[in-house]
Amino acid sequence: MPVRAPRLVSGIMSHSRRAFLRWGAGGVALAALRPPWLRADAGNPFAGFGLIAAGKLAPRPSAAIAASSLSVGYETLDRQHFDPVRTYEHAAQLGVKWARCQTGWARTEKTRGQYDFGWLDEVVDGLLKIGIQPWFNLGYGNPLYMQEADATAVGWVPVFDGAAMEAWKNFTARAAEHFKGRVRHWEIWNEPNITSFWKPGKPDAAAYVKLVKETAPVIRERVPDAVIVGCALARMPLDYLRECLEAGIAEHVDRISYHPYREIPEKDYEADVLGVRGLLAQHKASHIRLWQGECGCPSQKGGAGALSKTDWNESRQAKWLLRRIVSDLRMEVDLTSYFLIVDLVGYRGSTNWKGLLRGESYTPKPAYFAYQNLCALFDADARKADLPIRIEGADDAVVMTASFVRGGEPLWLFWTPEDLTRDTPPRKVRVTPGEKLKAPALLDPLTGQSYRVAAFDALPLVDYPLIIANGTVFGQ
């Protein structure tokens, strides 16, 4: 099939069997050498491309970054699945500004009417101390009021019993009073649209909105500047969201969150985000912002949790993370959170391998360093731009591109959204940025390595984003 000649593009478009999509970002960090992490091609992943290594991107600690939209998961501490203290040293150097924490009603109220928030105080204060703002996922149930539930009462909802609902509101009130001044953002429940998190009944959007309607005022009364996050949807089910909007959820929340687990991060993602925004517009709720509240990728096949049956490894996990976060930035999602800080050993009788840190040793995986590089570049000073770029020679490969501006400097990103289990080798492509660069350079966010670019006629196209900018952006 013939392929049309490529041209400069400044919007989302596709032609022939190639697609050009753009987005933008930018953020700057000084170059500095740091110990490389091991992977199969760590020696020279782009041998034969004429690139001259120039240095490493310096990480930026979370406390040194004023603001950003990047978050990491600290979920399941209500079930004591990991030791948060062992994570703080690495979290402090990661560069995220947010952390999602679950409040754990069952762990807090073990005797009726007595609340012990000590365990959650340690988490909140530990994160604040290193420059990371906790945000709460409020849940789950409590076996004191739900006789059929197990000790953790995960997924058990209080709306089915009047006494349980009153106890839930009492717990919410005490939590709001206790954490006022430290936590403003409160997400109500987790994945109510699936059976495992909506017990003992079947998922019911109207019942969920009832829970939100009765819970949100309890928080706002005690935290007047509270930001209420609703839905926390498993995947992005438009029908369920429509039912929530029809039941009036927009009157009670400031954000809508969702969890877009998928093997290929970009697959149908743009259409789904536009679909959510379209529903909000239809219900006169365009002021509600979107949060990608939970999404991660395992570092090996097997174990527990989403995507566990796919043939992952640590390098593939890191590439997936780059594509997930970049996809959210491209769509200007207000917050994006990676699940989670460390592997969950013993989770559901197995291990959930999605951690940035390894579950036994608490040592960083490649995905940790990949996220660290994104955090250094994409803080709140990064602005999505509308800068054209041209890619030639990709043959039948789909190509995605994007642009950002930070401090007056343009950045372009480009990649192919291939199936990550295929280990696609680099292709040589000709890249023409829409602006002339004085000292062009290429950054590999997987490794943090930057390269001087002598010519744009044979740059690598790989299955994760590479970044083009002036060398000064990367500290050269």
User: Domain holding 349: CATH number?
Assistant: 3.20.20.80
- Does residue 4 form part of some domain? no
Residues 6 or more apart whose Cβ sits within 8 Å of residue 51 = 442, 451, 452, 453, 459, 460
Q: Which domain holds residue 448?
A: 13-58+383-474
Residue ending a domain, among 377, 393, 418, is 377
Whole-number average pLDDT of the chain? 91
Q: Check if the beta carbon of residue 276 is closer than 8 Å to that of residue 290.
A: yes
Cα-Cα end-to-end distance for the chain:
43
Residues 6 or more apart whose Cβ sits within 8 Å of residue 9 = 20, 22, 388, 389, 390, 401
Say yes or no: 406 and 456 in one domain.
yes
Strands 440-444 and 427-433: unpaired
- Does residue 184 form part of some domain? yes
Say yes or no: 144 and 105 in one domain.
yes
Say yes or no: 342 and 368 in one domain.
yes
Say yes or no: 296 and 235 in one domain.
yes
The answer on pLDDT for 21 being more than 60 is no
Say yes or no: 214 and 251 in one domain.
yes
- Does residue 362 form part of some domain? yes
Q: What is the pLDDT of residues 271-321, one digit of tens each?
A: 999 999 999 999 999 999 999 999 999 999 999 999 999 999 999 999 999
Q: How far is CA 312 from CA 303, 363, 422, in A?
A: 11, 19, 10
What confidence tier does 10 reach under pLDDT thresholds 50, 70, 90? very low
Nearest CA among 468, 417, 461 for reference residue 442: 468
- Does residue 5 form part of some domain? no
Say yes or no: 155 and 109 in one domain.
yes
Cα gap 312→298, rounded to integer Å? 6
Say yes or no: 68 and 54 in one domain.
no
What confidence tier does 50 reach under pLDDT thresholds 50, 70, 90? confident
Residue ending a domain, among 347, 377, 407, is 377
Say yes or no: 404 and 286 in one domain.
no
Give Rg (Cα) of the chain: 23
Cα gap 289→236, rounded to integer Å? 15
Residues 6 or more apart whose Cβ sits within 8 Å of residue 303 = 347, 350, 351, 352, 353
- Does residue 161 form part of some domain? yes
Q: What is the pLDDT of residues 353-403, one digit of tens each?
A: 999 999 999 999 999 999 999 999 999 999 999 899 999 999 999 999 989
Q: What is the pLDDT of residues 192-228, one digit of tens each?
A: 999 999 999 999 999 999 999 999 999 999 999 999 9
Angle at 23 between CA 17 and CA 28, to 5 degrees: 135
Say yes or no: 308 and 399 in one domain.
no
Say yes or no: 152 and 213 in one domain.
yes
* Residue whose structure tokens are 């731009």: 385
Q: Check if the beta carbon of residue 168 is closer than 8 Å to that of residue 175.
A: no
Residue ending a domain, among 337, 352, 377, is 377
- Does residue 123 form part of some domain? yes
Q: How far is CA 428 from CA 82, 176, 458, in A?
A: 44, 55, 5
Say yes or no: 135 and 196 in one domain.
yes
What confidence tier does 43 reach under pLDDT thresholds 50, 70, 90? low
pLDDT, position 16: 30
Cα gap 126→132, rounded to integer Å? 9
pLDDT, position 48: 87
Q: What is the pLDDT of residues 70-99, one digit of tens each?
A: 999 999 999 999 999 999 999 999 999 999
Q: Tokens for 372, please give them.
A: 């660290």
Q: b/e string for 24-61 if b means 16 or more Cβ within 10 A?
A: bbbbbbebeeeeebeeeeeeebbeeeebeebbbbbbbb
- Strands, DSSP E only, in 194-254? 227-234
Q: Tokens for 107, please give them.
A: 């762990």
pLDDT, position 44: 78
Instruction: Give the count of domains, the chain.
Output: 2
